[in-house]
A and B are shown apart, each in its own frame.
Chain A
């Protein structure tokens, strides 16, 4: 029996709560950083195929700005903060005060490092709240920024999970800036835990892992 089959409603609720707490802290950090109201969706926990996961953010060849960090420690996994290009541009504009900023192949190192730092702060606050909640030791790797096709980026988060099957458990929380003309979702936090990490987290929270 695969680990997907062992998930029951309680487990899914716990994962939603993890997404809620983590992304909640990250959204608060973002809101303070930009002095703006940031809204967040209810976390979505889905067990889906790799291709379906790419479709959440517009298909595998859709170009995005993403900060990726590997979680090490008691419950290893991968965390992605994915922004649409217009949203990444808006965040950079707000942080650097350069209202004309556009993401091009020759845009300044400073603006890219600002975006990387933004990802660093947000992913760090997501992770530290998760660590506080579970009392587990979780360490982020140095985050890396990539502006490229989403399939090429997210597949790094699938390497571990692909060793046990063709599905992935995605903990997805979407955020968007208030008062944007298009009310579409503009940012995603994806938490992709390594397969063995689920039971470690459930046990840390005192829930039977159904094994």
Chain B
């Protein structure tokens, strides 16, 4: 794709919006969830790299909205709409939420953070009536994901299972 201008990279607890022909990518998702909200007709997509399920976990007043599923999904939808996305045409894809470590001994809830992130993202997408078209969640592998707003395809790269598109 020679027309691709560039790939916008988003970091941990970060979000951004792109228009075709640009792509949007985030690297090394483990327990974190990468959620994409897009309007295929308008070729606009936003991606957030969510770390934790709920902003009530925060111990400080100033909250980075991209970090928590309950604040990130709504903010992401807002940004996609502001960039020209249409509310009724929004769709979502997501990946991540792996359980990299088992830690049978650990008493904390921390090790189940991946599945909890996925549940929280589902709940928020339901709340805003954004249908989930495809997802690749759980397992125990890290993922790097890249979304193309032109095709609506999410490219997922893992270490052991190679590359696939959803």
Q: Among the listed B14, B110, B143, which residue makes an inter-chain contact with A156, where contact means beta carbons less than 8 Å apart?
A: B110
Chain A neighbourhood of B160, CB < 8 A: 105
Looking at the assembled complex, report how far the CB atom of B103 sits from the nearest CB atom of chain A, in whole angstroms: 6
**A: interface residue count bin:** 35 or more
Query: Is A113 an interface residue when CB atoms closer than 8 A count as contact?
Result: no
A105 to B161 Cα, complex, angstroms: 10
Chain B CB within 8 A of A114 CB: no
User: What 1/0 flags go to B102-125 for Cβ under 8 Å of A?
Assistant: 111110101101000000000000
B12 interface residue (CB < 8 Å to A): yes
Given contacts A50-B12, A159-B113, contact A152 B60 (CB under 8 A): no
- B117 → chain A closest CB, angstroms: 10
Secondary structure at the B interface, as helix, strand, loop or mixed, is loop
In the bound assembly, the distance between CA atoms of A146 and B101 in angstroms comes to 8
Flag if B12 contacts A152 (CB, 8 Å).
no
**Smallest Cβ-Cβ distance to A63: which chain B residue:** B159
Q: Are A158 and B51 in contact (CB under 8 A)?
A: yes
A162-B51 in contact given A50-B13, A51-B11, A148-B159 (Cβ < 8 Å): yes
Q: Beta-carbon contacts of B1-32 to A below 8 Å, as 1s and 0s?
A: 00000000001111000000000000111111
Measured CA separation A132–B29 after assembly (Å): 36
CB pair B101–A155 under 8 Å, yes or no, is: no
Proximity bits, B53-80, A CB within 8 Å = 1, else 0: 0000111100010010000000000000
The listed residue (B52, B58, B142) touching A153 by CB distance below 8 A is B142
Task: Determine the distance from Cα of A147 to Cα of B12 in the docked complex, in whole angstroms.
Answer: 20
Task: Indicate if A54 sits at the interface (CB-CB under 8 A).
Answer: yes
- What is the CB-to-nearest-CB distance from A143 to chain B, in angstroms, rounded to a whole number? 10
One of A25-33, A163-171, A183-191 contacting the partner: A163-171
Which single member of A59, A141, A152 contacts B98 (CB below 8 Å)? A152
A160 touches B (CB below 8 Å)? yes
Encode contact with B along A23-61: 1 for CB under 8 Å, 0 otherwise: 000000000000000000000000001110010000111
Most B CB contacts (10 A, CB to CB) among A147, A150, A155, A164 go to: A155
Rounded to whole Å, the gap between the CB of B146 and the closest CB of chain A is 11
Q: A54-B28, A61-B28 are in contact. Are A155 and B144 (CB under 8 A)?
A: no
A-to-B contact residues, CB < 8 Å: 2, 49-51, 54, 59-61, 63, 68, 70, 72, 105, 141-142, 144, 146-153, 155-156, 158-160, 162-166, 195
Apart from A51-B11, A149-B27, A153-B30: 11 A-B pairs, beta carbons within 8 A: A54-B12, A54-B27, A63-B159, A68-B101, A146-B100, A149-B142, A151-B12, A151-B29, A156-B111, A160-B110, A164-B59
